[in-house]
Amino acid sequence: MIQFLLILIIFNSAFGRSAPNSTAKLDVDDRIYRGKKVEIVEFPYVVSILENNKQECGGSLYKKDIVITAAHCLWEILSLEKLKVRLGSSKHNSGGVIKKVKSFKVHPKYNPITHEYDIGVIHLESPVELTTSIQTIELAKSQPTAGSTATVVGWGSTEKNEYPAQIRAVVLKTISNSECASKSYKYGSDILDNMI
């Protein structure tokens, strides 16, 4: 169950901070190619994670005061006071509700070089009020099968390497871990069992 939630987080937080190239074995891709503009009411659990009031990553609202995101979004954060979460807005730079962060935790086994255990949890300073544009994410009952569709949502770069303020979504087909680890894809043997 948790593994599938983590898959959803990755699909729903497509804008992410990647580890520095000097140490990263895998580059985290932050693009939403061929994505279409959508409104937050279609994906009301998607949040924008801000550092110094600038978009850094996306995440998913899990409980009224808990956001799930990727560990690579949090592992270099030095000041809790500079971290905030914007909820209920289609734009990462305006609107919605901004919440301060009480605390955050990166998975203790997170590896910034291989990106294993790439999950983090943010605890908001106070619970958010649920509305049509702010909802918690529903947990899936089962893991998706290869070939099923998945919607990637976020503020990632477009095919023109631009970072639009408006949230975008693209529907993709899922593949199995073994297919992803094959020579057909650029990551090949870098795909490990503890990756999300």
**Token match 């901070």: residue?**
17
Contact 47, 101 (CB under 8 A): no
Would you identify the CATH topology of the domain 36-181? Thrombin, subunit H (2.40.10)
Residue 5 has a pLDDT of 41
Residue 33 has a pLDDT of 63
Instruction: Delimit the domains of the chain by residue range.
Output: 36-181
pLDDT tens, residue by residue, 141-185? 888 888 999 888 988 777 677 778 899 998 988 888 778 777 676
Q: Which of 17, 18, 169, 150 is nearest to 90 (CA)?
A: 169
Residue 121 has a pLDDT of 97
**Token match 């999300």: residue?**
196
pTM summary value: 0.80
**CA 94 to chain centroid:** 19
Residue 30 has a pLDDT of 53
- Cα-Cα-Cα-Cα torsion 77, 81, 86, 87, nearest 10 degrees, comes to 100
User: Strand 66-69 to strand 120-124: parallel, antiparallel, or no bridges (unpaired)?
Assistant: antiparallel
Alpha-carbon distance of 65 to 75, in angstroms, equals: 20
Q: Which of 60, 64, 63 is nearest to 73 (CA)?
A: 60
What phi, psi does 74 have (nearest 5°)?
Answer: -115, -20
According to DSSP, residue 73 is labeled G
Alpha-carbon distance of 187 to 161, in angstroms, equals: 21
Residue 24 has a pLDDT of 37
**Which residues of the chain fall below pLDDT 70?**
1-33, 159, 183, 185-189, 194, 196
Residue 3 has a pLDDT of 42
pLDDT tens, residue by residue, 13-24? 444 443 333 333
Residue 23 has a pLDDT of 36
Residue 16 has a pLDDT of 42
Residue 189 has a pLDDT of 63
Residue 101 has a pLDDT of 97
Residue 188 has a pLDDT of 61
Helix (H, G, I), strand (E, B) or coil at 89: coil
For 2, how many CA atoms within 13 A lie in the half-sphere containing its CB? 9
